[in-house]
Amino acid sequence: MAPMIDMVFILLIFFLVTTSFVKETGIEVNRPRAVTAAADNRSSILIAIDRENRIFMDHREIDLRAVRANVERALVENPSGNVIVVADTRSSTGVAVKVMDGCRMAGAENVSLAASVSQGSGE
């Protein structure tokens, strides 16, 4: 009986270690629609920009000047992770560009802007 319990615990530890958890940005964002949007299931670093141009990462608000440091820290934890900027449709384009620029300066090679998949060709 004891070896079977040991085996169950080993399997439990194995599944916990190999499971990847989905990270959320911490806020609900109304993403713009795009016909050419594609799903990306890789492990990602998510940064959200809401309609008031506030920036969120890991369920907390961060300053625009702190984007680079936060992305650098996240890349240390996940070196192969890509950065996805999830911007609200009413957020400023300038803020999104500055956030993406900060991600690039932090060393992120794959920085993309999130969009919802649109069914039609125009809205």
Q: Is residue 73 part of a domain?
A: yes
CATH number at 105 reads: 3.30.420.270
Q: Is residue 9 part of a domain?
A: no
Q: Is residue 4 part of a domain?
A: no
Tell which wins on pLDDT, 55 or 3.
Answer: 55
**34 has pLDDT over 90:** no
Instruction: Indicate the number of domains in the chain.
Output: 1
Q: Is residue 81 part of a domain?
A: yes
What average pLDDT does the chain have?
Answer: 79
pTM of the model: 0.64
Q: Is residue 95 part of a domain?
A: yes
51-97 pLDDT per residue, tens? 899 999 988 899 999 999 999 998 998 888 788 898 888 888 899 99
Could you give the CA distance from residue 109 to residue 122 in angstroms, rounded to a whole number?
Answer: 31
| Residues of the domain holding 51 | 21-117
pLDDT of the residue at 123: 44
Q: Is residue 16 part of a domain?
A: no
- Burial of residue 22 (CB within 10 Å: 0-12, 13-18, 19+) is exposed
